[in-house]
Chains A and B, each alone.
Chain A
Amino acid sequence: MAVATAEKRREGMILVKVWEPTVRVTHWLLFLSITTLCITGYLIGNPTFSSPQEAAKTFTFGTIRFLHFAAAYVLLATFLIRLYWGFVGNRYARWSTLLPITGKRWRAIWKEVLDLALPKGKFRVYTGHSPLANVFYVLVYLAVLFSLVSGFTMYGAAHYTPFWRTISAWGLALFGNNLNTVHFWHHWLLWFFILFFLMHLYLVIYTIVVSRTTEIDTMISGYKFVVEETLSEEAE
């Protein structure tokens, strides 16, 4: 599936390196861990009955929870690496690029929303993420942060060492000192990520179809086809 590097040009577009290995690896780790967390999280919230045999012989729910926590540690590591990379990576990976902090960026976002709503003419391919995508990825990383805080608060509550006691006491203070409130808000993450996943997948496929650039391959190989004028525009 990866882009044949022999092919350097395609219909007026030029192949450029966009995503560094760190961004690509963290993306797919994000995908794997969050998918695992969503499936196991749904089952934790709505467990199915295992079997009426001796409890000592079964550990179904325990295993589901174990997978949830294992994936949670993977997510923690992924998040920390990506957080760090947002300060040292290339310009397409930096927080300073992703955050909608200037009026110019908000105008670009609005324009993109309009382009999506009233598709016509040429679709613009951005070298990094599109302005609208940036906003959503920032939201995703915020949601990941929230899942870590609320998740480890619940996790810490069940581990009676001074370290985990401290962690969960801090976390609990954010949720009105009520563990059930933590469960309640943590539960919404499931639906946030399912909704994000649907739209993310659609927009990725949409971009491939309407722009004839590469997208999924880009997240694997790091290379992307970009219109030459766009490159020079962005460089300004």
Chain B
Amino acid sequence: MSAIEVLERWEERGYLDDRISRREFLKFCGRMAVLLGLSNSMIPQIAEAVEQTVQQRRPSVIWLEFQDCAGNTESFTRANSPSVSQAVLESISLDYHETLMAAAGHQAEEARQRALEENSGKLIVVVEGSIPTKDDGVYCTVGGKTALQILQEVEPHALAFVAVGTCAAFGGIPMARPNPTGAVGLESVIRTKPIINAPGCPANPDVMMGILVHYLVFGRLPELDAKKRPLFAFGKRIHDTCERRPHFDAGQFALSFDDFGARNGFCLYKLGCKGPETYNICASWRWNMGASWPVKAGHPCIGCSEPAFWDRFTPFYERIPLAAGFGVEARADDIGKVAVGVTAAGIAAHAIYTAAVRKAEQKAVELDKKGKEESNES
């Protein structure tokens, strides 16, 4: 079946109204094919899968928010081709989402309970935000239940978990030192069900959509890397897809914000860019309908999608972390230079000292000899 046929059927059934034009729908399917690394010939299948989703109101998705800022929800609702995404969002039966759902209070909790029971075993659980574990997890409770309790309740019913955002995936900012709430990522809590991580602060909306579309088309989750991130989005470092890379290889760097280099789009390495250490899709896929991304806008990457970025990628404007000790923080190179100075001074002192000692010994030997010669003479 061609995509056009799907479109025609959609038109017949009245799915395609002013909100979703044919063009936009096809563009959405095409984008998804590109994102997932599929060939053009897969576009009809994508269209079909999206259609079925809309028709059958499947799969059932619940979205749980814990220690978060709702940034991923914000991001998701601003997906590229927003109207199509919105349609998908509305059609997948998003049975529970604290920020988006109309229901509140007991009604909302009932909706979750119903979703769990009706879709047991087929439920996709999206988690946003980290999970506090200290003091029995009292630092995050929703409807009187802690995040831990909610997850324990949901786990048996889930088909798979999707951790959106760095907090849910790796603990993120709540887990930053000194981690007062004992926050952890989803992986430390969920043991029996597959997890897919879509880190980022926030996660790229297309990546979330891509995971969903992949599942709709193939009926399984996409291929993951060692950190359970989908390879289609996290397969490469930012640095290897960055448009400033030729300047890196040439050795052309911006040395401060707004200098000659910064104005000419030179590489931001010396301003602390973490692109070389960060896996994400920002450089090739960009944000806001492909309009821009931080490095394009002139700011170094801060590595927001990497584990422990708040602790290990700071200071954001230094390339590597400072060395801490004795209550002060210093650059490795400054410490190194001092150590070399001290060592050189130590060597010089030892050389002079040794020379002096040896000279004294020699003198003693000579004096000794002289003394003996004199006594021999007399």
Contact = CB atoms under 8 A, between A and B. Distances in A.
B247 interface: yes
Contacts of B276: 158, 179, 183
Given A184-B312, A194-B340, 11 more contacts: A52-B261, A55-B252, A61-B250, A116-B350, A160-B235, A160-B236, A178-B277, A180-B320, A183-B319, A198-B343, A198-B347
> Is the interface on chain B under 10, 10 to 19, 20 to 34, or 35 or more residues?
35 or more
B255 interface: yes
Interface in B233-276: 235-237, 239-240, 246-253, 255, 260-261, 264, 269-270, 274, 276
B339 A206 contact: no
A177 B234 CA distance: 14
Interface in B344-374: 344, 347, 350-351, 353-354, 357-358, 361
6 closest cross-chain pairs (CB), A and B:
A50-B251, A191-B336, A60-B251, A61-B251, A179-B277, A62-B249
B320 A183 contact: yes
A158 B250 contact: no
| Binding site secondary structure of chain A | helix
B307 interface: yes
B253 A187 contact: no
21 contacts: A48-B251, A50-B251, A51-B251, A55-B247, A62-B251, A119-B354, A121-B361, A160-B236, A169-B226, A176-B312, A178-B306, A178-B308, A179-B278, A181-B312, A187-B332, A191-B332, A194-B336, A195-B340, A198-B340, A198-B343, A210-B354
Given A59-B250, A61-B248, A179 B306 contact: yes
A163 interface: no
A103 interface: no
A184 B314 CA distance: 12
Given A157-B237, A177-B227, A179-B277, A60 B250 contact: yes
Contact of A183 (B249, B277, B354): B277
Contact of A202 (B253, B312, B351): B351
Interface string A186-202: 01101100110011001
A47 interface: yes
A56 B246 contact: yes
A46 interface: yes
A120 interface: yes
Contacts of A206: 351, 354
A99 B313 CA distance: 37
A50 B252 contact: yes
A121 B321 CA distance: 49
Given A184-B320, A191-B332, A206-B354, A47 B253 contact: yes
Contact of B269 (A47, A50, A158, A194): A47
| Binding site secondary structure of chain B | helix
B377 interface: no
B78 to A, nearest CB: 29
Contacts of B336: 188, 190-191, 194
Nearest to A205: B351
A71 to B, nearest CB: 18
A45 B319 contact: yes
Contact of A47 (B237, B251, B347, B358): B251
A58 B251 contact: yes
Contacts of A56: 246, 250
A51 B312 CA distance: 32
Contact of B339 (A55, A58, A195): A195
B347 A202 contact: yes
Contacts of B261: 49, 52
B319 A188 contact: no
A55 B244 CA distance: 10
A201 B323 CA distance: 28
B255 A49 contact: yes
Contacts of A191: 332-333, 335-336, 339-340
Nearest to A66: B249
